[in-house]
Structure 1
Amino acid sequence: MSTQALTYLFVGLSFALYIGIAIWSRAGSTREFYVAGGGVHPVANGMATAADWMSAASFISMAGIIAFAGYDASVFLMGWTGGYVLLALLLAPYLRKFGQFTVPDFLGERYYSKAARVVAVLCLVIVSFTYVAGQMRGVGVVFSRFLDVPIDMGVLIGMAVVFFYAVLGGMKGITYTQVAQYCVLIFAYLVPAVFISILVTGNPLPPLALGAEAGETGQSVLERLDGTLTDLGFAAYTEGTKSTVDLFAITLALMVGTAGLPHVIVRFFTVPKVSDARRSAGWALVFIALLYTTAPAVAAMARLNFVETVNGTAYAEDTPEWVKSWEGIGLIGWQDKNADGRIQYAAGAPFEGAPDFSGETGPSGERVLTNAPTGSANEIYVDRDIMVLANPEIASLPGWVIALVAAGGIAAALSTAAGLLLVISASVSHDLLKKTFRPGLSERSELMAARGAAVVAILIAGWFGIHPPGFVAQVVALAFGLAAASLFPAIVMGIFTRSMNKEGAIFGMLSGLTFTILYIGRFKFGWFGGGGEEDWLFGISPEGIGAVGMALNFAVAFGVARVTRPVPGTVRALVERIRVPSGAGAAGVH
């Protein structure tokens, strides 16, 4: 059976599984739609959390950005994994003890204010749509390559699948679908990683392969990659180019942004007890670690294989077919600048921006580009989001492995997209309608509103997937910065500080969110005349500015709280109950 047929088979079977689970677990009440009835087993919830957490950014894009950025991309590993530990230990048990459906629900009750609830919904929607744009882009990339459809059509197919099981099953359907998606995605990630690890080093454990000898060179994978890249004019793979301040800021923004992500937090509302929230957090960390300890090895070996199989090859005779396949959908581009018929991979920008294909074929067989500068020796452009997906092809693995990776990439993107879309719909139907503007809304009407909001959210997410503001991991990093600057401080202060009032929380969230959006808008999208690296505040990039936004949020919140009315006694008692088990005495908070 051909690779294409295997891909259709694997993806089709996985879709049938997801839809079957959605039908079996159809939500019949708002509690099942929002929190899966609150009865999910900790191990199952751990798997679902891992699938929710390991999005297209983790599966598709993280290894790709590490492959090309090397040491500088370690911020993703440290920030995302450290942030999950922070969430599991610092916030999850207390939020589960509070016992509400959504993050705005907690903030609205804790800060005794409909305005706080509405501001929290605003923050949640902005963060979630920024995040989901990356997921839908990932879906489009996978479909376009492996199912031979345009990227835009791939996004539309993904929207249709998510629509079915998210709108029908709600959190109940999503939870059990994500258990299946985790099994698919982790198997799809580990199998090619083990294959490639054995081929490159003979060691079947990818995390150990980084330090193992690559072939018979006498050098480890990292040493060989360092030498190969420096010979081509690139910086050494194991040396960073970012400043220490920027590395610290990005890592912190990713870490605290993780702890403020609403679609991950809501997973801890789906278990029966507080102790189950802790247990499911532990299981999720185990499941997440399987991918995150493997990703650095996948990245390094993918970059090494790419250079050694592509650089210097004659395009017409020797260049692997996978290069031409990805070139066909615009995610690889080559311009024969020196007219020698061979691909030259070197330091420097191959094109001005993304490749702009003219639709014509050049003398060497390449698709002619109209924006290739002559000052750079580099002739090939590679979209970072394709490295994990192309890895099996680069290493000439069997067709069934390529098909498996396609199914895994789709599972990773769809699992997180569904979780994000659900928290958006729950916030609109539960927090805006039921708890704010239409308190008399019946449960049936609320459930219908939730499903309607999910439909609208899917349509908007699809538009963002077709018009993404960057590659997957980059878009997701911006979402984490927005979460760090807006929701995280309000949640932490709501749990650990009895004296934080509604005015402080509201102004803190608005100031942190506004500052971060304006900063990202200026340096990513050219607002207010744009600016370069020399204009960055404290030398911090847009990906790390969420850390400054968080500090601003805290400062404004405490400043406003000092000059406004104190917190009512009933709310102080609420914080006491959240923080301390019954009979344990007074809490040591202030």
Structure 2
Amino acid sequence: MELQTLIYLVVGATFLVYIAIAILTRATSTGEFYVAGKGIHPFANGMATAADWMSAASFISMAGLIAFIGYDASAYLMGWTGGYVLLALLLAPYLRKFGKFTVPEFIGDRFYSRTARIVAVICLIIASVTYVIGQMKGVGVAFSRFLEVDFEMGVLIGMCIVFVYAVLGGMKGITYTQIAQYVILIFAYTVPAVFISMQLTGVALPQLGLGAELQTTSGETVYLLDKLDATLADLGFAQFTEHKGSTINLFLLTLSLMIGTAGLPHVIIRFFTVPNVKAARSSAGWALVFIAILYTTAPAVGGMSMFNLLKTMQPVQTEQNTSISSTSTSQLPPAALDYEQRPDWFKTWEATGLLAVDDKNNDGQIQYYNENNPEMQAKAQIYGWAGNELVKVDRDIMVLANPEIAKLPNWVIALVAAGGIAAALSTAAGLLLAISSAISHDLLKGTFMPNITEKAELNAGRLAMIGAIVVAGYLGMNPPGFAAQVVALAFGLAASSIFPALMMGIFSRRVNKQGAIVGMLAGLLSTLIYIFCFKGFFFIPGTEIFADNADEWLLGISPEAFGAVGAFINFTLAFVISYLGRAPEADIQQMIEGIRTPD
């Protein structure tokens, strides 16, 4: 069957499944809308949690990061998985025992303050909206390629799909939809990885294939990583296995992603959907198992996708064309491609605008190398190259393009299309629910309109979700970076504001409401200001102060890593102010002991 037809059929079938589940599991009460009636089985909740957490950043963008950054991208692997361990051990069981609907509700009750609850809502909305921008970016990338529409139209289509099943189903519908999405995305991620590992190394497990010997026609013994390192070095780039950035930034980025993961409201809320504390612990364990399948595969997908990209760009001898300057393969960099003979996958991604070339010296060849490397600059002057001509390779295309580059069967490419879209939609739905519940349950019901009816609260939640979809869609069309980079900013915001408040709320009887409020605001604002300096105000182009210049970073700390510094500010101010002021009342301290004490 022709590829595009197959993609339409597979992706269309998954959409029908999502919409059918939303209709069949439509939420009819606030309990079902917010926490699925607290009746989800731990195994099912673990699978839904994995899908909720493994977003477009995990499926689409993380392997692209690994492909282009290599070793330093391990911060994303360690941070996101390590953070989930923190969440499972330190937060999830205690918050489930508290037994309410939302994270701001816990903060408001624990710190005996409506102001604290409102501040928590603000922190939640800012972090969640930033996070959902990355998901919409992923949706746009996937749709723009596989449905052959432009990026903006892809985002609009994704908004419509999320609207149907998230607004109708609430948490109940989202949970069962995410179970289906997990099955789709994990097959879509691992199946092509197995195919490509077998192609390159003959090893079926990608985790082992990354460190295995390449299958070569010459019979020489060469390891995949050694060959990849050598090719990148020939192009003037840092080697794949080389540590490139500062150690302190790598450490702080890992820490920021870890505590940001543990502070994400849309993941925490999933543990409110199970019947009891024991089920919360069990579902956390199952989620770790399901998450590990993708995260142990990601390094292989990133390394092999970069290897295949470079292999596609290898110089080939072509007949001289009198209309252009003749260039022998000896005068080409290690990665060069005859423009007229570029493969079909290359042409397809060019049409999306996410891959672009510029034949600067009009020789009919696409030269790919590091034009900022002095050695490559010298070669460019000798051979007449005018600069790197592969002027744009969006990192978010690597996973989606990899099966096409490797010439895998059409059904595998269609499966990857469905998986990439499922990953982005699953997390977007969870984030939108967290935003809508914060607005309808914490602001309206819990603060400004306590006498609102359950039906009115439910409708307010749906309206809030519609508004969040519109805002997220607009910002997703104008993102401040690739999906994983945007998501890292969201994790930093959660790390600096929500995580410290939850940790102190559970494990410290001494922290009072004044300390918690000042800590959250200081952590959030310090991180926002730092991001503003390099990313701009609400991601409006031209409003950044330092334009993401690494030389201007404070102590070499990137905006994505600053969340750990914001968390330190939060903890410090909260403890200092609390110990200078009055301790919480006895009933609050008793409540804290009750949360921590096993039944």
TM-score bracket for the superposition, by shorter chain length: over 0.9
Alignment of 1:234 with 2:237, yes or no, is yes
Q: Partner residue of 1:542?
A: 559
Determine whether 1:189 maps to 2:178: no
Gaps of at least 5 residues in structure 2 are 316-335, 374-384, 537-542
Partner of 2:453: 442
Q: Give the C-alpha shift of residue 349 in structure 1.
A: 6.8
Does the Cα contact within 8 Å between 1:75 and 1:247 map onto a contact in 2? yes
Corresponding residue of 1:564: 581
Match in the other structure for 2:211 = 211
Show the 5 A alignment for 1:445-456: 445-456=456-467
User: Which residue is 2:363 aligned to?
Assistant: 340
- The match for 1:13 is 13
Per the alignment, residue 433 of structure 2 pairs with 422
Tell me by how many angstroms 1:235 deviates: 0.8
Aligned position for 1:363: none
* Higher mean displacement: 119-128 or 538-547: 538-547
Q: Report the Cα distance in structure 1 between the residues aligned to 2:419 and 2:388, rounded to whole angstroms.
A: 36
Q: Quote the offset at 1:379 in angstroms.
A: 3.5
The residue number in structure 1 matching 2:84 is 84
Letter in 2 for 1:135: Q
1:542-573 alpha-carbon deviations (Å, 9 max, x no partner): 11000100000001101111222220111000
Is the contact made by 1:349 and 1:378 (CA closer than 8 Å) also made in structure 2? no
Please say if residues 340 and 364 of structure 2, whose CA atoms lie closer than 8 Å, have aligned partners that are also in contact.
no
CA distance in 2, matches of 1:471, 1:527: 17
Distance 1:450 1:255 in 2: 30
1:346 is paired with a residue whose SS is coil
Q: Report how far residue 341 of structure 1 moved.
A: 1.1
Deviation, 1:220, is 1.5
Q: Note if contact 1:311-1:345 (Cα within 8 Å) is conserved in structure 2.
A: no
Structure 1 Cα separation of the partners of residues 54 and 594 of structure 2? 33
Matched, 1:390 2:401: yes
Residue pairs, 1:65-214, within 5 angstroms: 65-214=65-214
Instruction: Choose which of 505, 511, 518 in structure 2 pairs with 1:500.
Output: 511
- Percent identical: 64
> Which of 547, 553, 561 is the aligned partner of 2:570?
553
2:483 to 450, 464, 472: 472
Decide which moves more: 213-222 or 432-441.
213-222
Paired AA for residue 563 in structure 2: G
Structure 1 stretches of 4+ with a deviation exceeding 4 A read: 528-531
C-alpha RMSD of the superposition: 1.3
2:590 corresponding residue in structure 1: 573
Structure 1 position 537, deviation (Å) = 1.8
Task: Give the aligned partner of residue 303 of structure 2.
Answer: 300
The residue aligned with 1:510 is 521
Alpha-carbon distance, 1:343 to partner: 1.6
Once the 2 structures are TM-superposed, how far is the Cα of residue 264 of structure 1 from its aligned partner? 0.4
Distance 2:135 2:550 in 1: 28
**One-letter amino acid of the counterpart of residue 173, structure 1:** G
Deviation by residue 1:181-236 (Cα, 9 ceiling, x = unmatched)? 00000001111000000000000100000111011341211111001110111111
Q: Distance in 1 between matches of 2:155 and 2:300?
A: 29
For 1:161 and 1:232, locate their aligned partners in 2 and report how far apart those are by CA, in whole Å.
42
1:72 Cα deviation from its structure 2 partner = 1.0
> C-alpha separation between the residues in 2 aligned to 1:209 and 1:127?
37
- Match of 1:567, SS state, is coil
Deviation of 1:532 after TM superposition, in Å, equals 3.0
- Cα deviation, residue 533, structure 1: 2.4
Q: Which residue of 2 aligns with 1:369?
A: none
Task: Find the aligned partners of 2:343 and 2:421 in 1 and give their Cα distance.
Answer: 24
Q: Which is further off, 175-184 or 455-464? A: 455-464
Deviates more, 1:545-554 or 1:523-532: 523-532
- Give 1:319's aligned residue: 342
| Superposition deviation, residue 530 in structure 1 | 5.3
Distance in 2 between residues matched to 1:533 and 1:229, nearest whole Å: 22
The count of aligned residue pairs is 559
Secondary structure of 2:582's aligned partner: coil
Shift of 1:317: 4.1
Worse-matched range after superposition: 178-187 or 215-224: 215-224
Q: 1:465 Cα deviation (Å)?
A: 1.1
The alpha carbon displacement at 1:20 in A equals 0.5
Aligned letter for 1:215?
Answer: Q
Per the normalisation by structure 2, the TM-score is 0.92
- Mapped partners of 2:211, 2:22: distance in 1: 44
- d(CA) in 2 for partners of 1:401 and 1:224? 26
Residue pairs, 1:241-320, within 5 angstroms: 241-312=244-315, 314-320=337-343
When residues 32 and 531 of structure 1 are mapped into structure 2, their CA distance, relative to the original with a 3 A threshold, is closer
- Give the stretch that moved more between structures: 573-582 or 311-320: 311-320
* C-alpha displacement of 1:285: 0.5
**Could you say what secondary structure the match of 1:543 adopts?**
helix
TM-score, length basis structure 1 = 0.93
Question: What's the offset of the Cα at 1:458?
Answer: 0.8
Q: 3-state SS of the aligned residue for 2:366?
A: coil
